[in-house]
Amino acid sequence: MENKISPKTLKIIEAMQQGEVTESLVYAGIAKHCKDPANKAILEKIAADEARHGKLWEKYTGKTVKPNKRRARWFIFLSRLLGFTFAIRRMENAEDAAQDIYSEVAKEIPEALQIESDEQRHEEELISMLDEERLRFVGAIVLGLNDALVELTGALAGFTMAYGQNIKLIAFSGLITGLAAALSMAASAYLSASADNDKDSKKSAIYTGFAYLITVVLLVAPYLIFGYLDVPNGKWYALAIMLSTVVLIIAGFNYYISVAKRLKFRKRFFEMFLISIGVAAISFLIGLLVNKVFGITI
C-alpha cells in the first residue's frame, strides 16, 4: 500500500469490504432461486461486481474478510418469503445510508468514486429488472385487502354492539359475511379484468379473493377464540384484538409496499387506517343505536 490511510478511513473501508462480500453472497443466493433468465443474469452480474469491489478494498486493508453469513441468509430467506424485490430493496436501503461515506473515503482513495458509480448503476439495473408477479398484482391485493378491512371491520364492530354477549354469533356472522364477500370480490375482480381484455383476469381474481380471505380469517379469529373459551366480556377483548390486528395488517402491508415499490409509508398508512377505523366507529355507533332504540339483543 503506497498511500498512508488514516485509522478512521481504514476502519470504514474494512466495514465496507465486509458489506460488499456479504452483498455478493446475497445476490448470488437470490439469483440461484430466480427463474426469470433476464433477472438471473443481472443478479449474477451484480454479485460479481460486489465481489470485485470487495477485492478492491482488500488491496487497501490487506485483509481477507469473510461475509456475514447470518445477514446473507436472512436476506436470501426474505427473498423466498416476501419476494426478491422486497429483499433487495431492503438491503439497498441500508446501502443508500452509506452512500455519503464514499465521497469522504475518496479523499484518500480515489477509486471509491468508481465503486459509488457502480452502486448507482446497480440501482438503475434493479429498477429496470423488477418484474415479480406479486408486485404486478399489487392493485388486486390492495383491492381485496382494503375492502376486507373496511367492510369486515365495520361489520364486526356493529355486530359486537348489536349482538350482546353472544360472541359465537358475532364470529359466525362475521365469517359468513366475510366468506361471501371474498367470493363476491373475486368474481367482481375477474369480470372487471375480463371486460378490459386482461389476459391475467383469473390471477387478478385469485389475488383479490385470497387477500380478502386471509384478512377475514385474521379479523374473525379473536371472536372465535374468545367465543369458545367462554371468557366473560370476551367480545370486548375480541374487539380490541381485532382493531389491533387491523392496524398491524395496514402497517405491515404498507411497509412492504413502501420498501418494494419505494413509496411513502406514512401517507398510505394513515389513509388506510383512518378509513378502516372510521368505518368501524360508525358501524359501532349504528349497532349501539339499534340496540338502544329497538331494544334488539341477541
Summarised one tens digit per residue, pLDDT across range 107-165 is 777 777 777 777 777 666 666 666 666 666 777 777 788 788 888 888 888 788 777 67
Report the C-alpha gap between 51 and 66 in whole angstroms: 11
* Residue 236: all three cell numbers together: 370486548
Q: What is the mean pLDDT of the chain?
A: 81
Cell 448507482 -> residue: 120
Q: What does the H/E/C string look like for 97-137?
A: CCHHHHHHHCCCCCCHHHHHHHHHHHHHHHHHHCCCHHHHC
> Among 264, 258, 267, 269, which Cα is nearest to 89's?
258
* Residue 45: all three cell numbers together: 452480474
> Are 26 and 108 a contacting pair, CB within 8 Å?
no
* Residue 184 amino acid letter: S
* Residue 171 amino acid letter: A
Per-residue pLDDT of the chain (298 residues; tens, 9 = 90+): 445 778 888 888 888 889 889 999 999 999 998 888 888 888 888 898 889 888 888 888 888 888 999 999 999 999 888 888 888 888 877 665 555 677 777 777 777 777 777 777 766 666 666 666 666 677 777 778 878 888 888 888 878 877 767 888 888 988 998 888 888 888 887 887 777 677 778 888 888 888 889 999 999 999 999 888 888 888 889 989 998 998 898 888 888 888 877 778 888 888 888 887 787 778 777 766 766 666 555 5
Report the C-alpha gap between 238 and 104 in whole angstroms: 54
| Structural domains of the chain, ranges and CATH numbers in brackets | 7-131 (1.20.1260), 134-293 (no CATH)
* Residue 107 amino acid letter: K
> Are 261 and 126 a contacting pair, CB within 8 Å?
no
Report the C-alpha gap between 118 and 33 in whole angstroms: 24
* Residue 192: all three cell numbers together: 372487471
How far CA 18 is from CA of 56, 226, 251, 267, in Å, comes to 12, 50, 32, 36
pTM: 0.70
Report the C-alpha gap between 51 and 131 in whole angstroms: 25
* Residue 129: all three cell numbers together: 429488472
> Are 65 and 58 a contacting pair, CB within 8 Å?
yes
Tell me how many degrees the CA angle 261-264-270 measures, rounded to the nearest 5.
Answer: 125
* Residue 137 amino acid letter: F
Measured on CA atoms in the order 153, 154, 157, 159, is the torsion positive or negative?
negative
Measured on CA atoms in the order 85, 87, 91, 93, is the torsion positive or negative?
positive
* Residue 126: all three cell numbers together: 434493479
* Residue 142: all three cell numbers together: 390492495
